[in-house]
Amino acid sequence: DTGVSQDPRHKITKRGQNVTFRCDPISEHNRLYWYRQTLGQGPEFLTYFQNEAQLEKSRLLSDRFSAERPKGSFSTLEIQRTEQGDSAMYLCASSPSSGVRGNTIYFGEGSWLTVV
């Protein structure tokens, strides 16, 4: 079990460019989450997948953001036409499905995005 892995760890991009982040969850975890964290703040929920189905999206997820999990394994988060306000750390997390109260959500190390 190698944990949740994210790629790239760091990305610097010019405003207006598109960026894509990848997340590989812990194997056999069918729940996958994306969060965004800005400096000095706690992580904020963006979206959630149960297997390949995207079941919930936060209002923070503008129409420039799209997330996919095509085969219920890895996931991608794409940001189109990046803006400076998109600069943040994007965290991916996974957990087993419900059934056990207090199931732990495991986080990756995050992908830092800097828009210049």
Binding site residues, another protein, CB under 8 A: 31, 33, 40-45, 48, 55-56, 91, 93, 95, 98, 101-110
State which residue, 21 or 33, has the beta carbon closest to another protein.
33
Count of CA atoms in the C-beta half-sphere (13 A) of 76: 10
Tokens of 22: 């990848």
Query: Least distance in Å: CB of 81 to another protein?
Result: 27
Closest CA to 107 of 35, 40, 42: 35
Reduced 3-state DSSP string for 11-42: EEECCCCCEEEEEECCCCCCEEEEEEECCCCC
Query: Least distance in Å: CB of 99 to another protein?
Result: 10
State which residue, 7 or 83, has the beta carbon closest to another protein.
7
State which residue, 40 or 70, has the beta carbon closest to another protein.
40
State which residue, 82 or 94, has the beta carbon closest to another protein.
94
